[in-house]
Amino acid sequence: MSSHRISRSVSERVLNFTFDGRRYVGREGDTIASALLANGVRVMGRSFKYHRPRGPWGAWVDDPNAVMSVRLGTVELPNCPATTTYLEEGMVARSVNAWPSAQFDIKAGLDVFHRWLSAGFYYKTFMWPDWHLFEPMIRRMAGLGAVSDDVLENYVSEQTHDRCAVLVIGAGPAGLVAARKAAEAGEDVALVDDHRLLGGGVYQQKTLEGKTPDVWVAEQTAAITAAGGRILTATTAFGIFDHQLVGLVQQGAFGTAPKLIRMRAGRVVMATGALDRPITFANNDRPGIFSVDAAAEYLARYDVLLGRRIALVSNNTLADGTEARLTTAGATVIRIDPTTGALKARGSKRLKGIWQDDRLHSADTILASGGMTPTVHLWRHAGGKLDWCDNRQVFVPGKGPDFLTAVGAANGEFDIDAAIAKVREPETAIKTSYHMTPLWPQPGSKGRQWIDFQHDVTLKDVELAARENYVSVEHLKRYTTLGMAHDQGKTSNMAGLAAMAAIQDRPIPEIGTTTFRPPFVPVPIETYHGHHRGQNLHPVKRLRLENAHRAAGAALCEYGGWLRPGWYGAGEAKDRIRAEVLQARKAAGIFDGSPLGKIEVMGPDAEDFVNFVYYNTIATMKPGQIRYGFMLTEGGVVYDDGVIARLGPNRFVISCSSSHVDGVRNHLETWRQDGNDPDRIYVQDTTAHWATVTVTGPKARDIVAALLPNEDVSAKAFQHMTFIETEWQGTPIRVARVSFTGDSSFELSLRQSKAEDLWGAVKSLAEPMGAGLMGLEAMLILRAEKGFIVVGKDTDGETMPHDLGFGVPRSKKKAAFLGDRSLHTEKANTKVRNQLVGLQVEDDSGPLPTGAHLTNGDTRPKSQGYVTSSYLSPTLDQPIALAMVQNGAARMGETVTVWHLGETRNATICSPCFFDTDGDRLNA
């Protein structure tokens, strides 16, 4: 990659490329725009709405006009800014939003109808009879480049993290001096610049500090690297985020994904320069009208003289130097003071001159400068304020975060010598040579005057928005799409807000700016994506027993972030699931419950703590006991359900829902540190250490008895909701009598490395008894038959425990507990709360759809609740459903209408427990 200035008069590597089907030749180091300009091409695109011909306005990131689809070999990328895309051999560039070419675009005729296509046109016109009738056509017409159908192989961004003491953003004169100063002071400096060639605008100077720009820049970079500083070229700081994190994107060769560097900087020096702003006059969007700064850059960096007879329209002194250099390069320059009369460009695709009042100045090129605007985007990302400077007519960095400073043109210091001196000696009073005369859009003036070149927002559009009361700049932006082009308002925002200020007769600073948001330049989504793709995007948690499940023919499905067996065996899933349910009810099911939480709470205050975080009373538990309970949020909403076991006076184990382990651990840690003494309570998540094999069903006790022949697991000796700690094959094992199926159940937990042994042993003992493996789908049916809920499925963000039939602690528990106050509010006690019920259906249309609404059956039905779980119960051979219904507990026996996608059925509200309502099987 070239990183030097181009000299077209001496031998440079020639690069062949095409644009809109025509062949051209450029030089190594060219951008596509500079190469085309060197070939005399000016029309490089079309505007978004009116399809007006567009040529480049700027020479770098501030250009809103020259956007292209570019193909190189097999790689095609849409919407490449021609001013920042470096030319490579064999590139095929096509203009976007134009057909067949930018030079001749068949849709250019739309411009004839511009009087009817002003701001708000779409909103007003396409409302009747239905926007969706017009939407496909408008969408086809809108947009810029199209994404190629080809998949870009290996287009993957490298992502890395880095840090430095001082990050200097921008390697113009001020940035280079700032970086050198910090590096020579011994600080760890990183200097980044978005060009391949460092120096910023320095090449527009004949000399700097008595040296040619090339020599001066080489001296600075040598000094920086000699002092240990790092320099990253082709690297854009696209945003500043929390805690001094700066997003850097580093470009490589065309077609390779850019690299993302997350840079954490101790201090950031913002030397991002300034942008030349357009002058608003009639036909100011014509190809051949450039910024003064761009003309100087094209000449200095790319050896391109933009015109032979140039009208230079400027209100500031920076144009003086450019005028001299253009003249030296062979152009005839006509200087025009834009503050002395109304301007109007003459010509269409090819400029012929510029009118000032009644006088025509013949010219093939117009250079315009309405004054420099500091590039303060990053300052605002970091939360810095902006101050208005009346002398320079700009927003400059005001009060900002301590870690951030602005230098050079970014700080409003447009005179290079003064800016450098200020960096070297910040306290020194600086005398600047920069002067300008205020020049802003004049509402009511004649002709079509462009504010946003790409999006075709004119001064009249701003005036229309103001008449329709879109006077806030944020509303103006959204109503007119001003600033929504790919340059994100770099050229249009100041003119737009100044126009609005003039219309309202208010000072510019009172109008304010729109919000500056990252990224500063367009960044491919891939940059954020990196290696987070495919299975690395949202990886599942893996069971230690996964190989055993695969060997047993498990269908592995994702449940709450875990890859778990849904069912086992080949054939129809529903048949396998039905068989597993029946087997579990008839003999026993063996289930991998390893993801269930095992979060230990220990310490002198452990009892008080769990009594506080649980809705139920936990303090009365004795060691060896287990209790089912709810954890609530502060709002009284059910956050998790599960069981808690007391292992000792100061030790509990919380077995929360599998998918809630991370959340519950954080929930506990939060409350441990808030309102409790964190030095007397400790929360240790041991979930990953333990595997849990669950055996449930009438034969479960026999299986466990065979597994642990030395333990008395009879119903009398080993009661429901208790546990024992013993050993199995010399390994500690916890056996808990907990049931989520309504049948007698045992949870066997031991260290993960012994899980396969235990799984195999239980399976061997179970199979001769008619028992077998069971997946999660069967388990969900088994628990639904008993009316046992799944939090998050059978509850929602408003469900409180009394809605589920657990109302006693609310009225009886004396100790303070999390969520208590919220359970006594008016809303918590209203009669129209959704409550858990069962639903029975008499017809033979199968299970009700989960999510179906329950209504009163009116012609305009209103939802009174919804179905949360619904299955065809293999045990009962009938459909069953759980639902949350308004005032459901008081409506037992009532028939309701179930509405789903326009179809209705009837159902009868009943108890949510469909099976073994007396609980006889629990101790069988």
Partner 1 sequence: MRNDTARWPEPRSSELIELDGLTITPVTLDRQVLVSGTNALSKETLPLVTWPEVESAASYALAVRRDRVLRVNGPAVIDGWDEDAELAISDVSDGYRVFDIRCHDMDALLGYGGEVALSLPSRSVARLWFGFGTFIYRINENVLRIHVVDYQADAMIDALVSALIKS
How many whole angstroms separate alpha carbon 498 and alpha carbon 506?
9
Q: Which is nearer to partner 1, 162 or 796 (CB)?
A: 162
Q: Which is nearer to partner 1, 259 or 325 (CB)?
A: 259
Q: In whole angstroms, how close is the CB of 143 to partner 1 at the nearest point?
A: 30
Q: Which is nearer to partner 1, 163 or 361 (CB)?
A: 163
List CB contacts of 100: < 8 A, sequence separation 6 or more: 20, 106
Under the phi-then-psi rule, with left for phi > 0, alpha for psi from -120 to 50, and beta for the rest, what region is 542? beta
Q: Which is nearer to partner 1, 475 or 680 (CB)?
A: 680
Q: In whole angstroms, how close is the CB of 661 to partner 1 at the nearest point?
A: 10
What are 806's two structure tokens? 């657990």
Q: In whole angstroms, how close is the CB of 88 to partner 1 at the nearest point?
A: 22
How many whole angstroms separate alpha carbon 43 and alpha carbon 624?
83
- Could you tell me how far CA 680 lies from the centroid of its own chain? 40
Q: Which is nearer to partner 1, 344 or 564 (CB)?
A: 564
The letter for the amino acid at 675 is G
Q: In whole angstroms, how close is the CB of 606 to partner 1 at the nearest point?
A: 7
Q: In whole angstroms, how close is the CB of 566 to partner 1 at the nearest point?
A: 5
Sign of CA dihedral 238, 241, 243, 247: negative
Q: Which is nearer to partner 1, 509 or 553 (CB)?
A: 553
Q: Which is nearer to partner 1, 90 or 732 (CB)?
A: 732
Q: Which is nearer to partner 1, 544 or 585 (CB)?
A: 544
What are 543's two structure tokens? 């069971």
Q: In whole angstroms, how close is the CB of 530 to partner 1 at the nearest point?
A: 7
Q: In whole angstroms, how close is the CB of 677 to partner 1 at the nearest point?
A: 10
Please, which residues bridge with residue 590 across strands? Answer: 695, 773
Q: Which is nearer to partner 1, 22 or 531 (CB)?
A: 531
CB 418 within 8 A of CB 318: no
Q: Which residues bind partner 1 (CB under 8 A)?
A: 156-163, 262, 264, 530-533, 535-536, 539-544, 546-547, 550, 554-559, 562-563, 566, 573, 595, 600, 602-604, 606, 647-648, 650-651, 678-679, 682, 684, 686-690, 751-753, 776-777
How many whole angstroms separate alpha carbon 682 and alpha carbon 606?
8
Q: Which is nearer to partner 1, 264 or 349 (CB)?
A: 264
How many whole angstroms separate alpha carbon 169 and alpha carbon 285?
31
Q: In whole angstroms, how close is the CB of 747 to partner 1 at the nearest point?
A: 17
Q: In whole angstroms, how close is the CB of 543 to partner 1 at the nearest point?
A: 7
DSSP 853-887: EEE---SS--EEEEEEEEEEETTTTEEEEEEEEET
List CB contacts of 534: < 8 A, sequence separation 6 or more: none
Q: In whole angstroms, how close is the CB of 461 to partner 1 at the nearest point?
A: 45
DSSP structural state of residue 114: G
CA distances from residue 562 to 91, 240, 660, 775 in whole angstroms, order as listed: 47, 35, 11, 13
The residue count for the chain: 924
CA diameter of the chain: 111
Q: Which is nearer to partner 1, 647 or 889 (CB)?
A: 647
Q: Name the percent of the chain in helix, strand, coil, to the closest 5.
A: 30, 30, 45
How many whole angstroms separate alpha carbon 903 and alpha carbon 890?
26
Q: Which residue has the tokens 């022949």?
A: 709
Backbone φ, ψ for residue 387 (5° rounding): -110, 150
DSSP structural state of residue 436: B
Q: In whole angstroms, how close is the CB of 293 to partner 1 at the nearest point?
A: 37
Rounded to 5°, angle at Cα 10 from 4 and 12: 55
Q: In whole angstroms, how close is the CB of 547 to partner 1 at the nearest point?
A: 6
How many whole angstroms separate alpha carbon 734 and alpha carbon 727?
8
CB 756 within 8 A of CB 684: no
Q: Which is nearer to partner 1, 156 or 218 (CB)?
A: 156
Q: In whole angstroms, how close is the CB of 594 to partner 1 at the nearest point?
A: 8
CB 261 within 8 A of CB 250: yes
Please, which residues bridge with residue 644 across strands? Answer: 627, 654
Q: In whole angstroms, how close is the CB of 578 to partner 1 at the nearest point?
A: 15
Q: In whole angstroms, how close is the CB of 361 to partner 1 at the nearest point?
A: 56
- Could you tell me how far CA 123 lies from the centroid of its own chain? 28
Q: In whole angstroms, how close is the CB of 764 to partner 1 at the nearest point?
A: 23
Q: In whole angstroms, how close is the CB of 593 to partner 1 at the nearest point?
A: 14
What are 690's two structure tokens? 């333990």
Q: In whole angstroms, how close is the CB of 170 to partner 1 at the nearest point?
A: 24
The letter for the amino acid at 452 is D
DSSP 703-748: HHHHH-TTS---TTTS-TTBEEEEEETTEEEEEE---SSSS-EEEE
The letter for the amino acid at 94 is R
Q: Which is nearer to partner 1, 63 or 777 (CB)?
A: 777
How many whole angstroms separate alpha carbon 568 and alpha carbon 572?
10
Q: Which is nearer to partner 1, 160 or 825 (CB)?
A: 160
How many whole angstroms separate alpha carbon 298 and alpha carbon 288?
13
Residue 646 CB-density burial (10 A; 0-12 exposed, 13-18 middle, 19+ buried): buried
Residue 917 CB-density burial (10 A; 0-12 exposed, 13-18 middle, 19+ buried): exposed
CB 592 within 8 A of CB 549: yes
List CB contacts of 920: < 8 A, sequence separation 6 or more: none
Q: Which is nearer to partner 1, 514 or 749 (CB)?
A: 749
Q: Which is nearer to partner 1, 164 or 407 (CB)?
A: 164
Backbone φ, ψ for residue 909 (5° rounding): -70, 135
